[in-house]
Amino acid sequence: MLVQLASTNSVPDSPASDLFAATETALEIRAFETKLLELFKGGGLSGTVHTCIGQEFCAAALHPHLRPGSDAFFATHRGHGHYLAHGGPPDRLLAEMMGRQGALCLGRGGTQNLLYKRFFSAGIQGGSAPIAVGYAWAMRCQGGRRIAVAQIGDGTLGEGTLYEAFTFAAWLRAPVLFLLEANGWAQSTDVRRTTPGNILQRAAGFGLEVDWKKDENPSALYEHLGRVVEKVRGGTPFLQVVETRRLMAHSKGDDNRSAELVAQLWQDDPLTQIVAREESAKSAQRAAETAADHVVEEVSNRPLLAETDNDVLPGASAVLPAAYFHSDAGPAKEYGRVAEELNRAFHDMMAEHPEVVLIGEDLLDPYGGAFKVSRGLSTKFPQQVLSTPIAEAGIVGVSNGMALAGLRPVAEIMFADFATLIADQLINFAAKFYYMYGGQVRCPLTVRIVSGAGRGYGPTHSQSLERLFCGIPGLRVLALSQRHDPARLLTHAVLHDDGPKVFVENKLLYALRPLVEPPVDLAIVPDTNAPGFSALQYRPRGNRNADVTVVTYGGMTGVTEAAMKQLLAEEETSFDYFVLTQLWPLDIAPILQSVRRTRRLVVVEENVPEYSVGSTVIAAVAQRCSEGFASRAVGVQPVPIPAVRHLEEKMLPSAASVVEALTALLRERGQR
């Protein structure tokens, strides 16, 4: 709804002092960004520069009402002005852009991706909006009248993620302010050509309160934004449009607007007008330009950044060696079905750790989730279970914000097929945060995806798409199998790993019980020095040599072990057997050692084998194994998974197809 905000006593300064303070800030922003353009033109900067010259009052009028280090701000690629108005040191920003010592993010973020206290900026349009919502919701849960602000531009109005953020903001009543700086252009496009309808009505239709103000009267804008911020602090999500202008190019010098239009924009610019008529503003302008010159000179004389470590994932806070999942020593533990074990893990975690939040679709009792993993949780922990709208990108975006704010969210994606909708939030945000922001933040996000076929669900509900997230620096991909302790693996991932991860659950596992006894004639290989998510490794008992190395993961353990059992009985074939826990990053060392002994490698998975986790295993071994070896990859047929059961079965790996691959390989090189 369009609201009229009455004046309050929350803005103590007089209009004259408000205007002068905002003008000083605006002049400092303009002087600094003008120097950036000069540096770029002279070769002192590389890449790109997006300035906010012309729209400085959007920042200068807002930030005095915010509390740096307490409130959070999520800026776009055009965020320098907000960074400076937020109290960010200009020398650290320039050092970041020049690759000099003292850089904000070790030179990794550059001009678009900045972090200072609770100021975040990122260069992907619309992607930060749901993150701001999640951050705001987390701060509300943690107490205090803190807010998050999401800066957006006209061009962002075409992004679907923005509207998912609107939905979540209104639904959660998150204290978030969407600040839309309407300069009329989306890069080189006049937004009147691409933005149909009424912007305010769009947002109001989601239940947000909305308002439109021009920046032509900075003092009035200052007072108005003070009232808006107070309203948001009270728990009202708000869209504030500030009509402004972009005086310079979108980036560097790529401006195809007419000279007449740009000249008119300069003439209408309130900062230009203030400087023209106010002597105090002229003096402040000279001071800002002198200060900017000093910053450029000082930073330019700093040493270049030295190389730093390239860690892209924070270390786990506890080690869980592979042998501790299952052991053939001592009494066997009684396990329930996998779904029951996961449910138990959530009950235990939520009881002891209020920062654990489960978020996803259809989670509430009595339904309890599509596969019943969340059964009973919403009844017992109503504040820690969020059953959301159908909006996968929004679910993971909001979870990103929660994780940055200190919670440990677990986002459930009902089917792995829908993981394509979350790719931007995982690949361009969650996976980047730790490295891009110089190791200053953690994002302990767990995304559970339900993968695999075998239930007759058809082409769009049967895929195994975890491979899409393998090879992404800064992301971890884990796979549950029948050989893992489900509760222990999930608990370790959620509580003891501070990085973002995809946790893959094959849907056929839910009705099965974990397998405690080692397969065929094998014994688990204890490894007390293993990393937290190392593969489960089995070798023949009695230190006998294996004939072939077999690698699988997830839902393929049953199929693979049935084939191994058959060949053991018929051919007395022996195996080195690996069940991968962590698909990415991939620890190839133990598999490589085995292949050097057996000279044979078979990988089994529920993916097209030519482009898959298994093909990666084979390629990684080939790059390191100079002795030579033979290999086979068993996977699904390269077609969408049919819905009819007998057709589906023909497309999937079977014990027979694994036996065929193993037999061919053994005959090819001669069985020992």
Known catalytic residues are 461
Integer Cα distance of 346 and 264 in angstroms: 60
For 16, what's the count of Cα atoms within 13 Å in the CB-facing half-sphere?
Answer: 2
Check: CB of residue 415 under 8 Å from CB of residue 148: no
Between 392-404 and 160-172, two packed helices, what is the crossing angle to 10 degrees?
60
Helix (H) or strand (E) holding 566: helix 557-571
Integer Cα distance of 440 and 120 in angstroms: 11
Check: CB of residue 514 under 8 Å from CB of residue 341: yes
Q: What are phi and psi of 27, to 5 degrees?
A: -65, -35
Integer Cα distance of 590 and 578 in angstroms: 9
Check: CB of residue 452 under 8 Å from CB of residue 606: yes
Q: Which residues contact 126 (CB under 8 A, 6 or more apart)?
A: 152, 156, 159, 160, 161, 162, 165
Integer Cα distance of 505 and 519 in angstroms: 21
269 CB neighbour count, 10 Å cutoff: 23
CA 333 to chain centre: 36
Q: Does the CA dihedral 584-590-593-595 come out positive or negative?
A: negative
Q: Which residues contact 272 (CB under 8 A, 6 or more apart)?
A: 266
CA 156 to chain centre: 19
Pairing label, strands 575-579, 536-540 = antiparallel
DSSP letter at 235 equals: T
